[in-house]
Every structure is written in C-alpha cells, then in structure tokens.
Amino acid sequence: MSLKVGKNGLGEDDWTVRTGGEDDGEKGGMREVHSAITKEAAVDVAVVVSRLYGGEFSTNSRSSDRY
C-alpha cells in the first residue's frame, strides 16, 4: 500500500494498493511471484530475483523447467 499524494494517512481513502514490477522479458516470472504473494495476502513485500543457474548467469533462452 502507498499513501496517496496530498493525504496524511489518517483517512480510509488515503491509501492505494500498488502492484507491478519489471520481469526483463521473462515469460510469466513476475506473474508467478505476484500470484504467490497475493495467495499469502502478504504486505510490504520486496522481491529480488537473480538468474543464476549452474554457477553461470542464465540467458532468456533457458527453459522454464529449470524452476
């Protein structure tokens, strides 16, 4: 949740829910993370994902079965 511009946080309508992110071309990566966070009803969450597979940074060409 984030405080709306010009609001003080004391009113019921002072807050908004923000979702989103950058998946850098991953097919469904952000969707999976967002789904898990939503399912757990988690709040104030920051997620950082690094693509490292087998000791080397992966490229976008890897298959989804490695997850």
Residue 53 sits in which domain range? 2-66
Alpha-carbon distance values, 58 to 18, 21, 25 (Å): 29, 20, 13
β-partners of residue 57 are: 52
Tell me, rounded to whole angstroms, the distance of Cα 38 from its chain centroid: 10
Greatest pairwise CA separation for the chain in angstroms: 50
pLDDT at residue number 52: 66
With a cut of 60, say whether residue 61 has pLDDT above it.
Answer: no
How many independent structural domains does the chain possess? 1
pLDDT at residue number 10: 95
Separation CA 34–CA 28 (nearest Å) = 10
The amino acid that residue 61 corresponds to is S
* pLDDT tens-digit readout, 2-54: 899 999 999 989 998 777 777 777 777 788 888 888 899 888 888 877 766 66
Going by C-beta distance under 8 Å and a sequence separation of 6 or more, which residues neighbour residue 9? 3, 15
